[in-house]
Structure 1
């Protein structure tokens, strides 16, 4: 809390320094010297940056790592009564000392005799360290802010290249942001690869990719450790692609036809109303779609199939009727259908932008040759936009493969290798959530299998995105 208050005060101070630097240049302007190199705003921004950035960086670093530094300093001297404890109990002791110093609840450990006195002493030491570090950081931040302001303000002059310096700061921030984005991606890939490598040391990749039995609970028993088939991910990928195919069977035609209507047939007024509504639909959280699937679509489908089964039972299709009468709310058809509804705005928006990007002279030439509007769309516009439309479909596939909430609430958790849309199935993302939820041991094959699933899913979605980009790059220039 104190860090945010200090940052707010620092922002207010930087606003003052901005005005001070700007006014210093304005007061020192001499018409005989001509125009200054940089405008007054750049001089004010230069002074404000030097007053704000170093001190803000210090406050952020102290807020992020101050607790660890305090804990390390607190553990530097271990009391004699605590030294006799094992490392785990020592960690609990020092955590309780910091908690008592900060007024937080302690653990359930009972401290008596020398441990109780040592806890009180360490709590006082932790409180002293916290206050000392807090005052020291604030004093140093104030010194850096004041020193930066004084040094930068002295440099404000008629020919000072303040614009170049400010733009250098901005370029540095942009480069830093790019580096952070790249390092974040590299870190995600490295963590997935490392944990997956640990998993594949226990379970064969062949069994993992092509095994037809998924039951990670089996591997938790000593007599079936890493048993063949317990970590077969084929049912998960089968369920993932079954739901994806159902979703794309709904989203692809509806989204593409809606995009054709909006770009080629709709009036400007209709387009101005429908397009924002589709964008709003795209912003609905996926958990809302999950509730819609579980509470509305699932019971509706079950009632329809049960009624159809009752009509077929007792006739030539008795077996089919009996099966339809046993259909439940959770099925791949429900999850895929609702997911397709969720993807319609995504497909429609991308396809609409791509179709609008087709040069107008292609349409005019086709119409001038006597083709109708529908013929022009079918023979000219769609072939020209086909690479972009295919790329949009592949991006929608990537979105469908990574969906979790709708599948969890509408398709169930049973791993099956099936193509029946009325069966209960599960997907890769749902199993990752299941494996990493709750109090888990991160050294067991059961938990590490989530990283193997994540790495495989990452490779699949990356391949789809690369294919989409290659299609766009290969065919885009033919219609410029």
Structure 2
């Protein structure tokens, strides 16, 4: 039985259990709901929870453990010459066994018999004709192992189905027996919901911890090969890729050019996005009519739905050449030399286009925050004789400032993590310079470059990507903590 059908059966049992539980509670109440501790729906929900939750927990554990057990059994049954091979070869052979097993499931009895009796070359042909292409001829033990794998998988599927369905039915029966007039069904259901909410809220934390640990472990390996001071204080980025499998540390891994480019391009982007986005949010929240707001806000938010690669093409084909040509004309008028002082790929190009992309983030978030300011503050300010602009400047914006700071911080994080626009609009040149008219690059671009291609995670040239990632994470975390400190300090003064 497929997993989807099994899930459907368990859910169906849960639905039926809910109806039966609610009906039993109603019959016990005798039409007088006040005689029960909880409403009918809570009793039905409790029976449904008893039928579904334990079955799902067992199913999740089974799906995570059973494949490992089957794989171990199949590997242990392989002939000694197959078990004595290198680990990489054993993994490759097991992958071939799994491919053969999937192909054998679709074969009829006659074709399966021919496959078992065929020589390796014929077996490869038969499997290829049935949609299982193999890189080489399968050994006889692979066919036997694939048949054993299918047999154990079938037994595992039947056992899992029987156990899960039986557990679901048993849970429903136990829930029905526990229903009584004074049974606290609501409390039990709320405890389950609380546990589910805690689990969901923990997922983000656990995911963050997992990401940090995975990056940190590889970063430690990088710093074992390259001194930390050369990375954090180096001013030259020249990794010089080594051959696969090599641990050559040749090259220079200076962080400063990448960090400077990241902060420079992000600052230019925020310089364009913040004034336009914030002023548009103020206008839509305080000055625009409801009809105009209903039209302009969705149109503005369309910019947020455009893929970043489209912005990159826009910068590469339109904005960059436009700035280059305009600068050439300005230079010609001023000096007579029509040499462009703005390159097509530059910090200004990337920052301008990225700022356009960030406008809806600033505008939409700030608009929601400004709109959430209590109406009584506006009315009180206007009632004291302040103009609308004075109310906005002295009352609305101070009250909304903590939220606006958070919105700007989220926008800055989005700018720091942008890659495609930087690649196409600012280039990949890692260098230290302070002219907005020259190309630079960012940390995220180099992370992509270092992890692109068929690489092994053994050389510093590849492991440096994890060091870049953990460094960027720490910088963002510090900015978040500092912004939170500023927001709390201002909020105390305002309150």
TM-score normalised over the length of structure 2: 0.86
Give CA deviations for 1:377-435 in whole Å, capped at 9, x if unaligned: 44554455445444433332222111122212322222121222232221111111222
Q: How far, CA to CA, are the matches of 2:423 and 2:477 in structure 1?
A: 23
Call closer, same or farther: CA 1:100–1:267 in 2, change over 3 Å: same
Q: Which runs of 5+ in 2 are unaligned?
A: 104-130
Call closer, same or farther: CA 1:166–1:389 in 2, change over 3 Å: closer
**Alpha-carbon shift at residue 134 of structure 1 (Å):** 1.0
**Alpha-carbon shift at residue 299 of structure 1 (Å):** 3.5
**SS of 1:28 mapped into structure 2:** helix
**Alpha-carbon shift at residue 248 of structure 1 (Å):** 0.9
- Conserved? CA contact 2:215–2:467, under 8 Å: yes
- Conserved? CA contact 1:100–1:106, under 8 Å: no
**Alpha-carbon shift at residue 370 of structure 1 (Å):** 5.2
Q: Which runs of 5+ in 1 are unaligned?
A: none
Aligned residue runs from structure 1 range 321-340, under 5 A: 321-324=338-341, 327-328=343-344, 330-340=345-355
Call closer, same or farther: CA 1:62–1:371 in 2, change over 3 Å: same
Paired residue for 1:291? 313
Which moves more between the two structures, 348-357 or 246-255?
348-357
Q: 1:344 aligns with which of 350, 355, 359?
A: 359
**Alpha-carbon shift at residue 307 of structure 1 (Å):** 4.4
**SS of 1:442 mapped into structure 2:** coil
**SS of 2:253 mapped into structure 1:** coil
Call closer, same or farther: CA 1:256–1:382 in 2, change over 3 Å: same
Aligned length: 468
Q: How far, CA to CA, are the matches of 1:147 and 1:174 in structure 2?
A: 26
Q: How far, CA to CA, are the matches of 1:86 and 1:393 in structure 2?
A: 53
Aligned residue runs from structure 1 range 242-261, under 5 A: 242-261=264-283
**Alpha-carbon shift at residue 358 of structure 1 (Å):** 5.0
**Alpha-carbon shift at residue 363 of structure 1 (Å):** 5.0
TM-score normalised over the length of structure 1: 0.88
Q: 2:135 aligns with which of 108, 117, 122?
A: 108
Paired residue for 1:395? 410
Corresponding position: 1:239 with 2:261: yes
Call closer, same or farther: CA 1:91–1:364 in 2, change over 3 Å: closer
Call closer, same or farther: CA 1:288–1:58 in 2, change over 3 Å: farther
- Conserved? CA contact 2:245–2:458, under 8 Å: no
Paired residue for 1:427? 442
**Alpha-carbon shift at residue 181 of structure 1 (Å):** 2.5
Q: How far, CA to CA, are the matches of 2:33 and 2:274 in structure 1?
A: 67
- Conserved? CA contact 1:306–1:327, under 8 Å: no
- Conserved? CA contact 1:218–1:224, under 8 Å: no
Q: How far, CA to CA, are the matches of 1:219 and 1:93 in structure 2?
A: 29
Q: How far, CA to CA, are the matches of 2:244 and 2:165 in structure 1?
A: 59
**Alpha-carbon shift at residue 236 of structure 1 (Å):** 1.0
Q: How far, CA to CA, are the matches of 1:163 and 1:149 in structure 2?
A: 17
- Conserved? CA contact 1:282–1:342, under 8 Å: yes
Q: How far, CA to CA, are the matches of 2:242 and 2:249 in structure 1?
A: 5
**SS of 1:421 mapped into structure 2:** coil
- Conserved? CA contact 2:37–2:184, under 8 Å: yes
Q: How far, CA to CA, are the matches of 2:49 and 2:410 in structure 1?
A: 41
**Alpha-carbon shift at residue 294 of structure 1 (Å):** 3.0
Aligned residue runs from structure 1 range 456-471, under 5 A: 456-471=471-486
Corresponding position: 1:41 with 2:41: yes
Corresponding position: 1:21 with 2:21: yes
**Alpha-carbon shift at residue 375 of structure 1 (Å):** 4.0
Give CA deviations for 1:347-394 in whole Å, capped at 9, x if unaligned: 223333444455656655655665543344445544554454444333
- Conserved? CA contact 1:17–1:149, under 8 Å: yes
- Conserved? CA contact 2:43–2:186, under 8 Å: yes
**Alpha-carbon shift at residue 458 of structure 1 (Å):** 0.4
**SS of 1:418 mapped into structure 2:** coil
Q: How far, CA to CA, are the matches of 1:11 and 1:47 in structure 2?
A: 12
**Alpha-carbon shift at residue 477 of structure 1 (Å):** 3.9
**Alpha-carbon shift at residue 222 of structure 1 (Å):** 11
CA RMSD in angstroms comes to: 2.8
- Conserved? CA contact 2:22–2:41, under 8 Å: yes
- Conserved? CA contact 1:196–1:448, under 8 Å: yes
- Conserved? CA contact 2:247–2:458, under 8 Å: no
- Conserved? CA contact 2:237–2:430, under 8 Å: yes
**Alpha-carbon shift at residue 77 of structure 1 (Å):** 2.3
Which moves more between the two structures, 151-160 or 440-449?
151-160
- Conserved? CA contact 1:3–1:63, under 8 Å: no
Paired residue for 2:458? 443
Paired residue for 1:198? 221
Q: How far, CA to CA, are the matches of 1:33 and 1:391 in structure 2?
A: 48
